[in-house]
Amino acid sequence: MHTLQLLAGAATALASLTLPALAADYDYRTNANGDLVLRLSGPITPVDGGIFLAEVNRKQPRIVELSGPGGDLLSAVRIGVIIHERYMWTRAVGECRSACAYIWIAGLHMQADEGVKILNHLPVARHGAGQGIPDTEGTALFGWYLGRLELSVEMMEAFLDKATAAGTVANQYFDMLAFAEYWNAPVEIVPAEPESVRAALTE
């Protein structure tokens, strides 16, 4: 009887755990202009590059709305290249960090809701002894990605300076929105739509 009680308690504890999502969240809405919008939110995972491609091929959205804490660099790069190649717009509708910000900069036109923070940094190792430390392979991939987005060498160097405070720190978050505006990127600050409007237009 005691063993059964222990097993029941363990099962209850396991059921209460919040397991990590296998992929980011995807849903759709039509905005006030009649554009189909793909809303991509949550952590970017290793499977999201493939899922995003399938979704874009299936629905062909014009705009990608973004929010999230970051995640897998390779998936973010794959998503960003797809956005760039298909001339899609991006819009940050909630705090957008790291991998989310990498995706945001790929937009043909980059929108951000008023007050939203878009924060970026150099890629870091996610596992092992070097976890959290700038990662050489990741940084090389990100450099390739910036080139694929047709950003200038000067802008890449400025990004590196921002992320390292001109070489005085190993890595830091910085304001990607202000950075993009400074470099005259196609950025637009827009009023946030009420959640009731977003919900009403969700497919």
Domain coordinates of the chain in residue numbers? 21-200
pLDDT tier for residue 201 given thresholds of 50, 70 and 90:
low
Nearest Cα neighbor of 85 from 106, 69, 57, 59 is: 106
Measure the CA–CA gap between 3 and 75, rounded to whole angstroms.
45
Give the relative orientation of helices 136-148 and 153-164 as an angle to the nearest 10 degrees.
140
pTM of the model: 0.85
Confidence of residue 172 (pLDDT cuts 50, 70, 90): very high
CATH superfamily for 21-200 is 2-enoyl-CoA Hydratase; Chain A, domain 1 (3.90.226.10)
Q: How confident is residue 132, by pLDDT bands cut at 50, 70 and 90?
A: confident
User: Tokens 């080139």 belong to which residue?
Assistant: 147
State residue 105's pLDDT score: 97
**pLDDT tens-digit readout, 6-50:** 333 433 333 333 334 589 999 999 998 899 999 999 999 999 999
